[in-house]
Amino acid sequence: MTTFENLFGGAATVDAWCPGRVNLIGEHTDYQAGLVLPVALSLGTRVELRPRGDDTVRVFSAGQAAAGVVSFRVSAESKRGDWVDYLQGVTAAGRAAGLRMSGFDARITTDLPVGGGLASSAALQVALLRALRAGLQLPADDFTLAQLAHQAETTFVGVPVGWMDQLACSFGDPTHALFLDTRTLAWQKVALPDGLRLVVIESGIPHRNADGGYRERRRQVEEAARLLGVAVLRDLSPADLPRVMRLPDPLDRRARHVITENARVLAFRQALEAGTREQLGPILAAAHDSLRADYEVSVLEIDRLVAIATSVPGVLGARLTGGGFGGSVVLLAQEQEAAAAAATVAARYQRETGRVATVVVIQP
């Protein structure tokens, strides 16, 4: 048995959990100081932990059971190129921030699909930080934990992500969308409409932020902003699109996506607050079209999954969610039809593509 007691010869003293997140809308905007609208999931990552009296870290992950118990030393973190780097990044970031870090034993479990585009890495890091805060009595609030997790992923792991995932995991809850301005890091909770269900379906094609496509898109929008004479594309609005479209291809389309996506986030929030749910589906459809054609981060299977979903009765709209190149789609569906619609979408997708789609969660 791989219980904490069997692994480490005693009981854990801390148990911490952190949700994953699904992004309703606002994709590839956070690293251009843009707007996002994620929702915390009812799924997440749990860390059982017991501090040690030395600088040794011993960790077991149920999702990496074949690796057994892995170890490293606090103050001697060294990048390995695997999942352990996300943990080493946390202790390295904590030390860099002046927090007292020591060794620990930890057991990690999750019901988030790794590679599903649902912030599994941010959930892991924030859950570990919550456990360390309790176990080591660290003087850090939830915002500080989000900052440390972001620092760990960008600096140590080396993935140039924006702020959305860590803040959504730290502050989100499953019944509200989190309207987040990544320029100011100000956020506001927006209630989700009664009678609707949020459905996440994983495509069977893993998404990896660390791969080159994400970095290339980030470089392209940074170059577009430079050529347009602004610090970030958040400084522009749809009124600027005529001059944006004079940029060389594909920079014109990359910039158009970011600018129009920020506008879609505002429109989506307004529709949620006004209760005009008939507007939600078309906004999701426009967002997916932009990710597919302008940002080019979708794949044929994801496009097919979205097309199937939007043709099923009870589904208001669907789009790719997460960084892209695989991962998951998010659907909004009528409450009474959500479960049947999700099952129909998954079955049709498997018949048409030969890939297995997994219904990850259905939640208010």
Catalytic residues: 165
> What per-residue string of b and e applies to 231-259 under the rule 16 or more CB within 10 Å gives b?
ebbbebeeebeeebeebeebbbbbbbbbb
Counted residue by residue, the chain has a size of: 364
Contacts of 11-15 with CB under 8 Å at 24 or more apart are 11/50, 12/48, 12/49, 12/50, 12/105, 12/107, 13/49, 13/50, 13/51, 13/135, 14/47, 14/48, 14/49, 14/50, 14/51, 14/131, 14/134, 14/135, 15/46, 15/47, 15/48, 15/49, 15/131
SS3 of residue 46 by DSSP = strand
Rounded CA separation 280/269 (Å): 9
What are the residues whose beta carbons fall under 8 Å from the beta carbon of 343, sequence distance 6 or more?
359
DSSP category for residue 156: I
- The amino acid that residue 155 corresponds to is T
